[in-house]
Amino acid sequence: MRHGDRVKKLGRTREHRQALLKNLCRSLFIFEKIKTTMPKAKAARKMAERLIEFAKRNDLAAKRQIYRFVPDHKLVKIICNEIGPKFANRSGGYTRMYRMGPRLGDGAEMAILELVEQSDISDIVRRRKLIERRVLVETKKEKKSKEKKAKGKKTTERKEKKASKKLQTKAPKEKKTKKKAK
């Protein structure tokens, strides 16, 4: 029995559950609306409302608390400077959930979790591009590492060619020695 248990386990270990909830909250703050299963939405709602409470304070300690759950400096800045002030007059109820009915594949109850105070679509697109810009920098680094790997492959190809030439030159010599032995 689950008397007094306050954590919905979601069929995951603690670390996996925490990572899932952090990712759901991150997506909620970027897109301001996410679609997920009902139990996940309820658990993410609890974490998101807590983070918005910190964002309303908007001091250094609050930013550090938010950073514990959303380890992205750009997103923490967006949460504190854009999302938090929208809820300054509210004392709770920063998110809402809509039930969508069962999912066709497995019958899981689906829900939409969204922020009550929504931004313009242009702000959401700008926010998404700002967050994704970091990924583009990483791809440049990956290109550099791929170039280094390509250079390494070229040197290995050269070595293989040299080795194959040596084998070709050695092979006829071996045949000649066999003739002498006969």
Record the tokens describing residue 55, joined without a space.
């964002």
The answer to the question of residue 177 being in a domain is no
Helix (H, G, I), strand (E, B) or coil at 116: coil
What string of pLDDT tens digits covers the 182 residues of the chain?
878 888 888 889 999 999 999 999 999 999 999 999 999 999 999 999 999 999 999 999 999 999 999 988 999 999 999 999 999 999 989 999 999 999 999 999 999 999 999 888 888 888 888 888 765 455 666 777 767 777 666 677 777 777 777 666 655 555 555 555 55
Helix (H, G, I), strand (E, B) or coil at 113: strand
| Pair 29, 78: CB distance under 8 Å | yes
Find the CATH number of the domain harbouring 41: 3.90.1030.10
Note down the domain range covering 20: 14-119
Q: How many domains does the chain have?
A: 1
How many Å is the maximal CA-CA distance in the chain? 102
The answer to the question of residue 167 being in a domain is no
Q: What is the DSSP string of 46-99?
A: HHHHHHHHHHHH-SHHHHHHHHHHS--HHHHHHIIIIIHHHTTT-SS--EEEEE
The answer to the question of residue 140 being in a domain is no
Question: What is residue 80's predicted lDDT score, i.e. its pLDDT?
Answer: 93
| β-strand partners of 115 | 95
Cα–Cα distance for residue pair 152/148, rounded to 1 Å? 6
| Pair 34, 52: CB distance under 8 Å | no
The answer to the question of residue 6 being in a domain is no
The answer to the question of residue 147 being in a domain is no
The answer to the question of residue 29 being in a domain is yes
Cα–Cα distance for residue pair 89/87, rounded to 1 Å? 6
E strand or H helix at 176: helix 121-181
